[in-house]
Chain A
Amino acid sequence: MFKEFVEKKHYSFHEGFDDWRDAVRAACAPLLADGTIEKEYPEIIIEKVEELGPYIVIAPNICIPHAERGRGVNDTAMCFMKTEKPVSFDPNDPDKDARIFVVLAATDDEVHLNNLMALSETLSDEDIVAKVLEAKTPEDLLKIEE
Chain B
Amino acid sequence: MAKLKVIAACGSGMGSSQIIKMKLEKVFKKLGLEAEIYHTNVGDAKSQANNYDVVFCSESLVGTFTGTKATVIGLKNLLAEKEMEEKIKANIVDA
Q: Using CB atoms and an 8 Å cutoff, list the residues of chain A in contact with chain B.
A: 48-49, 51-56, 58-60, 62, 64, 66-69, 95-96, 104, 106, 112-113, 116-117, 119-120, 123-124
Contacts and interface: CB of A to CB of B under 8 A. Distances in A.
**What DSSP secondary structure best describes chain A's contact surface?**
mixed
Nearest to A93: B60
Interface residues of B, number: 24
Nearest to B81: A124
B14 A55 contact: no
A57 to B, nearest CB: 8
B88 interface: no
Contacts of A95: 76
Contacts of B81: 124
B79 A68 contact: no
Contact of A52 (B15, B22, B61, B76): B61
Given A66-B14, A116-B19, 20 more contacts: A52-B11, A55-B16, A55-B58, A55-B61, A56-B11, A56-B15, A58-B19, A58-B78, A59-B79, A59-B80, A60-B77, A64-B16, A64-B19, A67-B11, A95-B76, A96-B60, A113-B18, A116-B15, A120-B22, A124-B79
29 contacts: A49-B11, A51-B11, A52-B42, A53-B60, A55-B10, A55-B16, A55-B60, A58-B77, A59-B77, A59-B78, A59-B79, A59-B80, A64-B16, A64-B19, A66-B12, A66-B16, A67-B12, A67-B14, A68-B12, A68-B41, A95-B76, A104-B14, A106-B14, A112-B14, A113-B18, A116-B15, A116-B19, A119-B19, A123-B79
